[in-house]
């Protein structure tokens, strides 16, 4: 049985927020040169399992060693910001 893809809205309603990380890494052939890579995904704070999974992938598969990582996390839907609208009134 294949797993149905989860929409971004479903993830946000489950508590996920958008995590953006900037990876600074050394070039494989020029170790004195730093380069950067931007990564974004929906993740759960404060544990950030998807971010740490990507860091482990990087260390295992990418030749450029990591220098540092900085990241930010923003919950896009918070309590009190989302409500069910039952009707709409239009006024000319």
Q: How many other CB atoms are there within 10 angstroms of residue 64's CB atom?
A: 19
Q: What is the pTM of this model?
A: 0.74
Q: What are the extents of the domains in the chain?
A: 8-74
Name the most confidently modeled range: 2-11, 60-69, 72-81: 60-69
For residue 7, the tally of other CB atoms under 10 A from its CB is 9
Which residue would you say has higher pLDDT here, 90 or 40? 40
- The confidence score (pLDDT) of residue 80 equals 59
SS3 content of the chain, % helix, strand, coil (to 5): 20, 30, 50
Q: How confident is the model over 79-91, as a mean pLDDT?
A: 64
- E strand spans, the chain: 17-26, 34-43, 66-74
Assign residue 15 a region: left if phi > 0, alpha if psi is -120 to 50, beta otherwise?
left
| pLDDT, mean of residues 63-75 | 92
């Amino acid at each position: 049985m294949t797993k149905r893809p989860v929409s971004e809205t479903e993830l946000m309603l489950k508590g996920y927020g958008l995590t953006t990380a900037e990876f600074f890494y050394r070039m494989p052939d020029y170790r004195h040169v730093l380069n950067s890579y931007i990564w974004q995904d929906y993740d759960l704070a404060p544990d950030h399992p998807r971010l740490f999974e990507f860091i482990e992938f990087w260390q295992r598969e990418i030749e450029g060693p990591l220098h540092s990582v900085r990241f930010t996390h923003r919950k896009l839907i918070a309590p009190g910001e989302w409500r069910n609208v039952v009707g709409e009134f239009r006024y000319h």
